[in-house]
Amino acid sequence: MNETIKHYDTVDFSGDGNALAIIDQTKLPGELIILELDTAESIWEAIHNLRVRGAPAIGVAAAIGIAVLMKKSEAKEVSEFDREFNEYKDYLETSRPTAVNLFWALEEMKKVLDRQDLAGVPERKTALIRRAKELREEDIDVCKRIGEYGLTLLKEGDGILTHCNAGSLATVKYGTATSPMYLAHEKGMKIHVFADETRPLLQGARLTAFELHNAGIDTTLICDNMSQTVMRNGWVNIVFVGCDRVALNGDACNKIGTSMVALAAKRNGVPFYVCAPTSTIDFETKTGEEIEIEERKPEEVTEMWYREPMAPNGVKVYNPAFDVTDHDLITGIITEYGILRPPYQEALEKLRDQIRSRE
Ligand code: MRU
């Protein structure tokens, strides 16, 4: 593959505007395949099976997905059109449970239909497409702003550790946790990144190590059980991770294993930052306890990636896809509006009120 991944957007409309176009992340790093999806089932499958994954990318994919599905609608009456929209929305919401961006983006799309000025079906179709395009553009801008705030925490020569892929591939562009890394690299700063491989689906190895290495950033891949060692060795100055849902008290749900990184960071005195666009903050969920954690199939642990099964046939497997990092382990939450510091509930309530007053 000669192209660098930065030449591609993770999620977009297809060239003719009739389909959702995504990079098939299950094929990386070996093959760069762009899929064009124009049925509800194929969009649902792509989200469920992590062809498109990462909280912001899932949200934008759902928004573009529902816009292209509704563009094809044959409904004549607004009531019929809206009923169809709600059916697609309910269906797409069942594709994955944890990342709040999926629900947020579909809700943003629904708000379009609540507008009084869109009297007919054609106007509603156009408005849905426009809103999906806006959400896509906003994601790029938000990630860039998170990167700019993150960059203020970095200095020449820093070692940075990250877990899973909160990279360009998890968003439309730039990523959240990787955004400060890309901006530092662009400025010619010397940084070094440790990427946790991230069992069981290897998002760190297949995606983060791939995209950072591909961009020319000095990157070392480590197994998940090595992060304590590299921190103890003094090689890590800061941790940046993404997240799938932040609760009102600052508890942050992210890829399984993130909380272990946070514990090791605390022990070693390494600052631990969660990068979270406000679309990832769930102001309605009080604590991490309330967040639904996706459980995935046992084969991801026992046989996926191996030439033959690596566990005894029939053994019990527990495979939660996410965990919650308690807010007291988090040094700061980097949003597009700035870096939030403890006490998080106070900071998040203030941010929520600011956002709502602008709506
Ligand atoms: O299961 P995945 O690969 O969708 O999990 C992704 C993560 O946990 C990311 O860290 C998170 O979505 C943030 S992406 C900017």
For ligand 1, mutation pick of 96, 199, 244 (most atoms within 8 Å of CB):
244
Report the alpha-carbon distance of residue 325 to residue 286 in Å, rounded: 14
Q: Is 164 in the pocket of ligand 1 (CB under 6 A)?
A: yes
Find, among 325, 255, 206, 318, the residue nearest to 96 by Cα.
255
Length of the chain in residues, anyone? Answer: 359
pLDDT in tens, 6-34: 677 899 999 999 999 999 999 999 999 99
User: What pLDDT, on the 0 to 100 scale, is given for residue 358?
Assistant: 84
Residue 121 clears pLDDT 70, i.e. is over it = yes
Task: Write down the pLDDT at residue 6.
Answer: 66
| Greater model confidence, 111 or 3 | 111
- Average pLDDT on 56-62 reads 98
Structure tokens at 47: 């989200």
Q: Ligand 1: which atom is nearest the Cα of residue 164?
A: 10
Q: What is the mean pLDDT of the segment spanning 58-74?
A: 98
Task: Give mean pLDDT, residues 294-319.
Answer: 97
Pocket test for ligand 1, best of 10, 26, 164, 246 (most atoms within 8 A of CB): 164
The answer to whether 24 and 10 have CB atoms below 8 angstroms apart is no
Question: φ and ψ at 228, to 5 degrees?
Answer: -60, -40
Mean pLDDT of the chain: 96
168 Cα: distance to centroid of ligand 1 (angstroms): 11
User: How far is CA 338 from each of CA 134, 142, 150, 233, 334, rounded to the nearest angstrom?
Assistant: 22, 11, 9, 31, 6
Question: Cα 167 from chain centroid?
Answer: 8
CA distance 146 to 77: 42
**Cα(307)–Cα(298) distance, integer angstroms:** 16
Say yes or no to pLDDT of 113 above 90. Answer: yes
Which residue minimizes the CA distance to atom 8 of ligand 1? 255
> CA torsion angle for 183, 204, 98, 343 (degrees, to 10)?
-50
Count other C-beta atoms under 10 Å from residue 184's C-beta. 22
Q: Where are the alpha helices (DSSP H) in 152-208?
A: 179-186, 203
Q: What pLDDT does 183 receive?
A: 97
Which is catalytic among the residues 12, 139, 244, 323? 244
Q: Is the pLDDT of residue 2 over 60?
A: no
What's the 350 CA to ligand 1 centre distance in angstroms? 26
| pLDDT value, residue 1 | 44
For residue 16, give the DSSP letter. T
- Encode 306-323: b = buried (16+ Cβ within 10 Å), e = exposed: eeeeeeeeeeeeebebbb
The per-residue pLDDT for 4 is: 64
Per-residue pLDDT, averaged over 78-95, amounts to 97
- Residue 158 known to be catalytic: no
DSSP string, 256-289: TTHHHHHHHHHHHT--EEEE--GGGB-TT--SGG
What is the tens place of the pLDDT at every residue in 146-168? 999 999 999 999 999 999 999 99
pTM comes to 0.96
User: Would you state the pLDDT for residue 103?
Assistant: 98
Q: Is the CB of 335 under 6 A from ligand 1?
A: no
- Contact in structure between 50 and 96 (CB atoms under 8 Å): no
pLDDT digit string (tens) for 192-232?
999 999 999 999 999 999 999 999 999 999 999 999 999 99
